[in-house]
Amino acid sequence: MPFEICDLDYDGDCDNEDYIASIESLGKCSGEIVYNPLVDMDMDGCVDESDITEFFQVDSDNDGILELDDNCPNQRNGSSSGTCCRVSGKIPR
């Protein structure tokens, strides 16, 4: 499975940990250590809130729930709450 663009820690999904990693670069600009060019979607050299929003405007399982709100980003559950079935090959957290 190809890595999602918002999968900053390369664990195969876009979850809260990636979100936390992305907001660490919020307000940072090119040249600063925590600036992450991957998050700078409009590539203007600084990461602002619109970059973060756009970064997570993806719905990899196409269930209509954007990654950021989707409790199961790789599962078409169409819900942002409730029980997430275990994804095979992944260690449940």
Residues at the site binding Ca ion, with contacts judged by CB under 5 A:
7, 9, 11, 18, 40, 42, 44, 51, 59, 61, 63, 65, 70, 72, 75, 77
Q: Is 26 helix (H, G, I), strand (E, B) or coil?
A: coil
Task: Determine the Cα–Cα distance for residues 66 and 25; give it in Å rounded to an integer.
Answer: 21
| Residue type at 3 in one-letter notation | F
Q: How far is the CB of 63 from Ca ion (least distance, A)?
A: 4
User: CB of 3 within 8 A of CB of 15?
Assistant: no
Residues forming beta bridges with residue 29, ordered by sequence position:
46
- Residue with nearest beta carbon to Ca ion: 70
Q: How far is the CB of 82 from Ca ion (least distance, A)?
A: 10
Q: How far is the CB of 56 from Ca ion (least distance, A)?
A: 11
